[in-house]
């Protein structure tokens, strides 16, 4: 198996910047996320060492790289026996095996049913405890070849990331009831993320091309919360990050799982440039719907479902849906070809190869 590429006339950095500006490029911008087992299987199929992540990104034609500052502070959380703990969040995880591998599942939520004192005492990282100089050296190492970004789908990700700590039911209740202690904790976490991001952007500003944020706001069939609740509790947090990016003239793309297009007008009003994931099977999230309603006003990243032909069809089925998606999205420009979230471990390798070959074959302007 191999990835077959056409002639390219732009660097990845130029391609990413032009895509965010809705300008014509030589081909669509390409992204990649995958779970561990399918990643390793794909590497083996392409004769790449599974540990050579950069080698795989180059083989696929992925156009951007993340820049982050390593945490160098003291440990903040201790994992219970038989569990793992996220070093920056404090969420607790257990390993769950399945037929094609396994994953770390969130459990034992340390702030579920928490009282005010528990919220006040739960540790949050200090922005001083990150190595921003190391981040700058990583950014420099790419020599202007790739689009570089800071942030990720977990920043600030109010509902989902706090749900990993206190359970989603508690988060939704606290948002609705405007619980003082819980909301102070949520804002304290967002404040540390914002201050850390500001220092990271300022350190690496000469090399960066965009900011990546995240917030899961939809189920498969409907919004998770009302627009009014979003505007009162979450939008002010999002706006602080968007404003920070804007102060450095960096476009923002925000990850939104499920049926999320109901909030996109507010994103546009805030200054968000693009939206990510875009599960086509969710309500009002099909490529045609998004292109008609928001084309030319938002970049689109994703739309290649990890729960459709990619996972359950043939290589031919995968190529077909990729081509159809490209035909729709390329007409409005600003499209980043990528899976809807991480490619799952049960996905046939030949389908993943077909997916990326389709991007290079049909994603040319």
CATH assignment at residue 40: 3.20.20.210
**Crossing angle, helix 349-362 and helix 36-45, to 10 degrees?**
70
Q: With bands split at pLDDT 50, 70 and 90, how would you rate the model's confidence at 10?
A: very high
Rounded CA-CA distance 234/18 in Å is 30
Rounded CA-CA distance 360/358 in Å is 5
In a domain, 331, yes or no: yes
Give the CA-trace dihedral at 43, 346, 65, 31, to 10 degrees.
110
Rounded CA-CA distance 122/117 in Å is 9
177, pLDDT greater than 90: yes
pLDDT of residue 202: 98
> Residues 255-283: what's their mean pLDDT?
97
Show the tokens assigned to 323. Answer: 């081509």
279 near 272, Cβ under 8 Å?
Answer: no
102, pLDDT greater than 90: no
Q: With bands split at pLDDT 50, 70 and 90, how would you rate the model's confidence at 99?
A: confident
> Residues 38-42: what's their mean pLDDT?
96
In a domain, 100, yes or no: no
Quickly count helices (H) and strands (E) in the chain. Answer: 15, 11
DSSP string, 189-220: HHHHHHHHHHHHHHHHTTT--EEEEE---B-S
pLDDT tens track for 17-30: 999 999 999 999 99
- Alpha carbons within 13 A on the beta-carbon side of 313: 18
100, pLDDT greater than 90: no
pTM more than 0.75 = yes
Rounded CA-CA distance 260/277 in Å is 10
* Burial state string for 323-354 with b = 16 or more CB within 10 A and e = fewer than 16: eebbebbbebbbbbbbbbbbbbbebbbebbbb
Sign of CA dihedral 271, 288, 256, 24: negative
> Residues 131-142: what's their mean pLDDT?
98
In a domain, 104, yes or no: no
82, pLDDT greater than 90: yes
Contacts of residue 265, Cβ cutoff 8 Å, sequence gap at least 6: none
Domain of residue 131 covers: 12-75+113-362
Q: With bands split at pLDDT 50, 70 and 90, how would you rate the model's confidence at 152?
A: very high
pLDDT tens track for 227-268: 999 999 999 999 999 999 999 999 999 999 999 999 999 999
pLDDT tens track for 333-362: 999 999 999 999 999 999 999 999 999 999
* Chain position carrying tokens 């202690």: 181
DSSP string, 71-86: B-S-----PPTT-EE-
In a domain, 93, yes or no: no
Taking alpha carbons only, the member of 152, 142, 119 closest to residue 253 is 152
**Number of folded domains that form the chain:** 1
Rounded CA-CA distance 363/365 in Å is 7
In a domain, 20, yes or no: yes
In a domain, 293, yes or no: yes
Q: In this structure, are strands 92-98 and 101-107 parallel, antiparallel, or unpaired?
A: antiparallel
> Residues 86-107: what's their mean pLDDT?
92
In a domain, 103, yes or no: no
In a domain, 238, yes or no: yes
């Amino acid at each position: 198996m191999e990835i077959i590429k056409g002639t390219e006339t732009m660097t990845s950095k130029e391609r990413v910047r032009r895509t965010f500006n809705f300008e014509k490029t030589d081909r669509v911008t390409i992204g990649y996320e995958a779970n561990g087992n399918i990643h390793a299987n794909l590497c083996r199929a392409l004769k790449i060492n599974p540990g050579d992540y950069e080698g795989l990104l180059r083989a696929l034609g992925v156009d951007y790289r993340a820049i982050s500052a390593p945490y160098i502070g003291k440990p903040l959380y201790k994992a219970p026996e038989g569990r793992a703990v996220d070093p920056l969040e404090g969420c607790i995880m257990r390993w769950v095996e399945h037929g094609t591998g396994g994953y770390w599942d969130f459990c034992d939520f340390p702030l579920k049913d928490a009282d005010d004192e528990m919220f006040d005492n739960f540790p949050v990282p200090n922005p001083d405890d990150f190595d921003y100089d190391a981040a700058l050296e990583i950014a420099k190492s790419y020599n202007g070849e790739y689009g570089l970004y800071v942030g990720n789908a977990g920043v600030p990700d109010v509902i989902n990331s706090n749900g990993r700590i206190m359970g989603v039911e508690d988060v939704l209740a606290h948002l609705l009831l405007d619980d003082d202690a819980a909301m102070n904790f949520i804002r304290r976490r967002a404040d540390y993320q914002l201050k850390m991001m500001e220092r990271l952007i300022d350190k690496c500003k000469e090399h960066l091309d965009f900011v990546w944020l995240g917030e899961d706001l939809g189920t498969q069939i409907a919004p998770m919360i009302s627009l009014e609740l979003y505007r009162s509790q979450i939008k002010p947090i999002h706006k602080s990050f968007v404003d920070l990016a804007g102060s450095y003239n960096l476009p923002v793309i925000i990850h939104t799982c499920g049926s999320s297009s109901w909030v996109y007008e507010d994103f546009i009003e805030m200054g968000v440039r693009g939206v990510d994931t875009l599960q086509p099977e969710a309500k009002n999230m099909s490529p045609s719907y998004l292109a008609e309603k928001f084309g030319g006003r938002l970049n689109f990243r994703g739309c290649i479902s990890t729960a459709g032909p990619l996972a359950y069809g043939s290589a031919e089925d995968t190529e077909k849906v990729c081509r159809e998606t490209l035909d729709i999205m390329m007409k409005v420009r600003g499209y980043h070809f990528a899976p809807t979230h991480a490619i799952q471990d049960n996905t046939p390798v030949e389908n993943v190869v077909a997916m990326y070959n389709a991007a290079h074959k049909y994603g040319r302007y």
